[in-house]
Chain A
Amino acid sequence: MPNPGPVSSAPADRDLIAQAAAGDERAIGQLYDRYATVLYTVAYRVSGQRADAEEVVIESFAQAWRDAARFEPGRGSVAGWLTMIARSRALDLVRARSRRERITQTAAADVPDAPLAMGTWRGDPADALDRTERRRQVRAALDELSPPQRQAIELAFFEGLSQSEIAERLNEPLGTVKTRVRLGMQKLRAALRPFFFEQGP
């Protein structure tokens, strides 16, 4: 049972988003309990700073709250939507920081924090179990890619590079990078479809 989904008594993610759209703040609390760890993980991986990752999580849920009415179920799951919000906010933050650091030439280098926060909060154990299984599947699927495919996809997702920027960084032809991204993503999609946050209609 790789993808048990929410227990029957718990409201579906989409219902929570609808409640948030109707002005119920508690819905955001419930979404936090389900997905804060995923959002924090990606924000931390992108920014490398605990304080930045926390700021990203706060801003992402605030944005989800503001944009709840604009959520389009046809475009994917709530969890996927939240995750992509957190990823792009983290990338924005990192880009803004590097712009600023290029301007002011202060030397004080930010030392990356240790990955695990002290005194951590842990969500619902059922969600954690779900997350552990998904994580295992995602890592296994990535291991099935060729290393260059995996590298191109990770540069795009975690560092926000465009295909041209990836080609430049790796000193490879653009066409080669495009093929790696396309084939790699198609392979991941086939392998991970059973583990999507929500199954399609």
Chain B
Amino acid sequence: MSTPDESSLRDLAAAYALGALSPEETRAFETYLATSPETRQEVAELRETAALLALSAPDAEPAAGLRARVLEAVSASKLRPLSPSPTAAPAPPRPARRPSPLVWAALAASLLAAVGLGLRTGRLADELARRNAELAERDSTIAEQARRLAAEGQRLATTDSTLASLLSPGVQLVQLTATGDPDPQIQLFWDRRRNTAVLHASKLKPVPAGRTYQLWFIKDGKPVPSVTFDVAPAGEALVPRVTVPSEGQISAAAVTEEPAGGSPQPTTPVLLVGTLAKS
């Protein structure tokens, strides 16, 4: 690939302002940008243009309490500013002071002085771009961690309620097994009072793509379709809430392999079965 010439680099300004360049194009463009004051002016205007696009979105107003939350976050972030690098020493106790504007002015001046020394400028631009990318990455890591924490909280809540179902009085355990194979096993914790069950499977073989496991209750001698479930690579599955038919006489529970989405009637032989004792 040949080096893009100046006019084709300049053509990238609009996409750069929209953040729509590939990482390689971005690097090439930023190196060029450091040497071209006219293009910097153009990019500034295009960025203003891009920012105005926000106003084309449907109107939405923030809730009344948001202002207080913003100011709270600002006060909080005063206490823990971004440290300059992961290896740097801990910040001093009054860290709200960022590098003074003078430092940045000096940096800007040195950047200007470098214009014309193509190579050096390129390096500075690269360095700046790299630092910016690092900061952006750290920011997005923090956002990601917050999200993950929320997801973890959600998972814990589900686990809690599953545990509560297992421990409630009157729960009966039904084991589903396969004939001739001791490995695959399904435990059904059947809460007779609520007509619900928790399904736990272990050592089940993963099914091919487009297929799934399906649970059946045998009611008055006929199979009634229940949940479908997939197993993790280790062969485990947990279905925290299965509804058990409340009417009629249920004699057994069984599992078959079915097309994804399940079937109204079993289409393959029963893999595992367990009988439900009368209460």
Interface residues of A (CB under 8 A from B): 18, 21, 23, 25, 28-29, 32-33, 36-42, 44-45, 50, 53-55, 57-59, 61-63, 65-70, 72, 74-77, 79-81, 83-84, 86-89, 92-93, 95-97, 100, 104, 115-122, 131, 134-135, 138-139, 142, 153-154, 156-158, 160-164, 166, 178, 181-182, 184-186, 188-189, 192-193, 195-198, 200
Contacts and interface: CB of A to CB of B under 8 A. Distances in A.
A114 to B, nearest CB: 10
A55 to B, nearest CB: 8
Contact of A153 (B53, B54, B143): B53
B135 to A, nearest CB: 8
B39 to A, nearest CB: 12
Interface residues of B, number: 62
Contact of B59 (A79, A115, A196): A115
Contacts of A58: 66, 69-70, 73
B47 A38 contact: no
Contact of B49 (A72, A87, A185, A198): A185
Contacts of B74: 25, 28, 61-62, 65
From DSSP, what is the main secondary structure of chain A's interface residues?
A: helix
Cβ-closest 9 pairs across A and B: A45-B57, A185-B14, A80-B51, A120-B61, A42-B54, A69-B98, A156-B20, A83-B51, A40-B62
Contacts of A57: 62, 66, 70
Contacts of B46: 185, 189
Given A42-B57, A65-B74, A74-B40, A36 B62 contact: yes
B77 A189 contact: no
A113 B148 CA distance: 22
Contacts, number: 240
A44 B11 contact: no
B200 to A, nearest CB: 18
A138 B56 contact: yes
A129 to B, nearest CB: 13
Interface centre among A59, A81, A160 (most CB of B within 10 A): A59
Nearest to B146: A55
Contacts of B58: 41, 45, 115
Contact of A36 (B20, B57, B67): B67
B86 interface: no
B168 interface: no
A120 B139 CA distance: 28
B52 A196 contact: yes
Contact of A59 (B11, B50, B73, B148): B73
Given A66-B98, A156-B15, A161-B20, A76 B44 contact: yes
A69 B18 contact: no
Interface of B: 11, 14-15, 17-22, 40-41, 43-64, 66-67, 69-71, 73-75, 77-78, 81-82, 96-101, 104, 108, 136, 139-140, 143-144, 146-148, 151
A192 B147 contact: no
Contacts of A158: 53, 57
B51 A135 contact: no
A68 B96 CA distance: 11
A174 to B, nearest CB: 10
B62 A121 contact: yes
Given A80-B50, A96-B144, A162-B21, 20 more contacts: A25-B75, A36-B66, A53-B62, A54-B63, A61-B70, A61-B73, A65-B78, A69-B98, A69-B101, A72-B108, A92-B140, A120-B61, A120-B63, A121-B63, A139-B55, A142-B53, A162-B22, A182-B15, A195-B52, A196-B48
